[in-house]
A and B are shown apart, each in its own frame.
Chain A
Amino acid sequence: MIKINRQKLITASAVIAVAALTVTTVPAQAFNPRSKQPGLTATTIKLGITLPMTGIASPGYNKIPGAMKAYFDYVNDNGGVNGRKISLVVKDDKYIPATAVARANELILRDKVFALVGTLGTASTKALTSSTQLSRRGIPSLFVNTGWSGFANKKAYPTTFSILPSYQMEAKVMAKYIKDNYAGKKLALIYQDDDFGRDALAGFKTAGLSFDLAIPYASGSQALPATGAGWISKLRTAAPDVTVLFGVSSATTALLGNAFAAGWVGKTQFILGSVGGDATTIAATNRGLVGLLNGAKGLSFAPAPTDSSDEYIELFQTIYAAAQPKETFDNNVVAGMSNAFLAVQAIHAAGKNLTRKRLINAIETQGSTFANPFLTPLGYSRTSHVGATGYWIGTYGPTGALTADGGKYTVFTTDSGNGAVVESTYKRPAMPAKGLPN
């Protein structure tokens, strides 16, 4: 089809030859991922986060960066970490994985952050980790806000550390609770149809729990409010005694809203996964729905945000009230501040001669002993990059506050494999003075 005469061919060949020769003599570019520590000076450390600040999944989650900044500013005002002050660059990915990739690229290439911290969402975190080649570049991805058990694969994700217990752990703890308290009852499950939800399915399967009705829904769907009507219709037909929701808070809102609209209230015992049970998030969409949470069961691994008797919660409440006086202190704030707290612990442990490699090494070697607000042990080691390792179970009150059943936190711990679910004997060490690294 393309005709080339001999003269053209000779000329083209000559050009290609010269091009090839020149390319081989071009000096290697200045970029060398192992010799530089972007985002780091003698007095500053730049961290970056991408998460949904707008869009369907944003209510509640969009408070996390404010909470993190509040704690970082508190540390900065008290001298920083090893003499360095921390800054946080925040990007909005709308809970869309493709957008999260673009935002992560901006954080790494334009903002030149030292490390990512607290990226949120399984699909988004997976996509950005792969696309930006975090492992090849040696960029730490600290304490990602997802419990997908795949991040425990150190070979595939050598620089990624999770903060949440895995969703498999959560499903196993939930399964034990259901077996102990609702044996022989009719069960239904609504789950997010991606790695997040499928991880839970694997956990339920390992625990030997099956459901009479399972309803998947598409993650990031903007049509959730309408989809919820279909769930109620199926639930009404199946009439389950217990309905488990393993999804985000916008799915919980869709479930409660449609149940109320259809007059299907008090017909089933709701059990909400830790991700989807935040009352403030639900209130942000429809305050009237919060009351419908009353009596539902929920899981958490951190102290309740209303528990001012907990020294961490008391400190966080004080810091947050000063930084964000108009905002409500809730689960998302506890999550954000805990994330920042753990990041500060890790940076401190990495020492004054901070490098990305030293930071990763510090978490692997000392991470299980880092001070933190959680009520479960941390699982960080040379072989595990999983953070918290268990859950306590409680009941939601009419204001949407989750209170531990029996008046105390009874924590159950397990693993992402076939390990048993056992009651934890872990006693959390005292908080460092003023909540600062020492």
Chain B
Amino acid sequence: MLKKHPLITFIIFGFILFLISNRLDELIVYHGATVGIYVIAIASLILLTGYSGQVSLGHGALLAIGGYAAVLARIHYNAPVWLTFVVAVLATAVGGALLGMAAARLSGPYLAGTTLALAIGLPSIANQFSVFGGEQGLSFDIGFPPASLGEDFTQYKWYFWISWSAALIAMYWLRYVLHSRYGRSWRAVRSNDVAAELAGIHVGRNKVLAFTISAGLAGLAGALLGMTISLVSPGVFPLLLSFSLATGAVLAGVTTLGGVMIGAVILVAIPEIALAIANRYGGSETIITNLPGLLVSGLLILTVLLVPNGPVEQMHARRAKHAKSGKASHSPVELTVRVGSKTWSTKK
């Protein structure tokens, strides 16, 4: 269905999500909005790492650029909400393009180190310039939901609708891009950049383009994150966020977009599970604070050991293997060799 009618599949999926949001508890709706944001952020990281082979450990910094761009547009130019997201995407894409130019010259641990330094350094800039509001940040108020949605339409549901609308549009568009010439070029560059260059692909240009698009998506996620917290500050984009997104991408399967939901749901669910465990066994504040990190780390190690390409990729590989072995047992390959007038065949 997804392969044949992607647009319809996305619309139906979105429709079901919006229907569900009417029936769920508010806390789940709030978490659902966060899942939508993580879907975009993890997809952006998968595009960069899984498809174009560039490692980023500092994606939180790109989210921060998007968040600040959106809130500044809102505060200083009173931009409508949808426009703040556009500004976030464009501003972060420009930042990503500049970063991509530097990144194209780096690879492996050097690139990882550079992006990590960015994640550590960028949020601190907010403390240096008063326009960014220092440590306490800037209030990102998108206002109440439209009155036409009814008086009982909660703010959390409004966040959910906006986040998931953005996520579905972003994922549909990203799916299209990855199936296009650009997506194929990126995969070629990731697999073997020398071979790709010999095939006529401009490696540097493709790496910068991937970084730009990935950054644009990260910027969108950053603006949405600021929206749900109603605040854009260094504390919204800590180093831990960058590591969480990298973890989410590994759990999702870094080479495919298929598992992006799994990664996003796990990132949101882990603190809840940790809290439930801590409450059940009477855990202290220290346990409640540290248990989520422990669970995520454990899951990360298990994923790398058991399903290094992620559960979805693993499932695809198993299905393909099963299909292959199934064909071998039920419909063996028929081989016919003809030499002159003589014919040998495996067909009985």
Contact = CB atoms under 8 A, between A and B. Distances in A.
Contact of B8 (A8, A23, A26, A102): A8
B27 A26 contact: no
A32 interface: yes
B5 A8 contact: yes
Contacts of A105: 27, 30
A342 interface: no
B139 A29 contact: no
Contacts of B137: 97-98, 123, 127
Contact of A2 (B135, B154, B176, B236): B176
A194 B139 CA distance: 13
A105 B156 CA distance: 10
Contacts of A133: 155
Contact of A15 (B15, B228, B285): B15
B12 interface: yes
B230 A127 contact: yes
A96 B5 CA distance: 45
B235 A19 contact: no
Interface string B19-52: 1001101110010000000000000000000000
A433 interface: no
A227 B229 CA distance: 29
Interface residues of A, number: 45
Interface string A115-144: 000000011001100110100100000000
B311 interface: no
A79 to B, nearest CB: 28
A114 B233 CA distance: 29
A194 B289 contact: no
A53 B289 CA distance: 11
Interface residues of B, number: 41
Contact of B135 (A23, A28, A109, A123): A123
Contacts of A98: 137, 229, 231, 233, 235-236
A31 B233 contact: no
Given A26-B19, A54-B285, A92-B285, A127 B139 contact: yes
Interface string B157-180: 100000000000000010010000
A183 interface: no
Interface stretch (A214-222, A282-290, A309-317, A413-421): A214-222
Given A97-B233, A98-B235, A221 B135 contact: yes
A250 to B, nearest CB: 13
Contacts of B204: none
Contacts, number: 114
Contacts of B233: 97-98, 123, 127
Interface string A187-221: 00000011100000000000000000000001111
A122 B5 contact: no
A96 to B, nearest CB: 4
Interface in B258-300: 285-286, 288-289
A16 interface: yes
A26 B235 CA distance: 38
Interface string A52-66: 011000000000000
Contacts of B19: 22-23, 26
Contact of B150 (A4, A28, A130, A221): A28
Contacts of B127: 218, 221
B243 interface: no
Interface of A: 1-2, 4, 8, 11-12, 15-16, 19, 22-23, 26, 28-29, 31-33, 53-54, 92, 96-99, 101-102, 105-106, 109-110, 122-123, 126-127, 130-131, 133, 136, 193-195, 218-221
Lowest 3 A-B CB distances belong to which pairs?
A: A123-B136, A131-B230, A109-B27
7 contacts: A12-B11, A54-B285, A97-B136, A98-B236, A105-B27, A131-B229, A220-B136
Given A97-B231, A109-B26, 5 more contacts: A15-B12, A53-B285, A97-B235, A102-B229, A127-B136
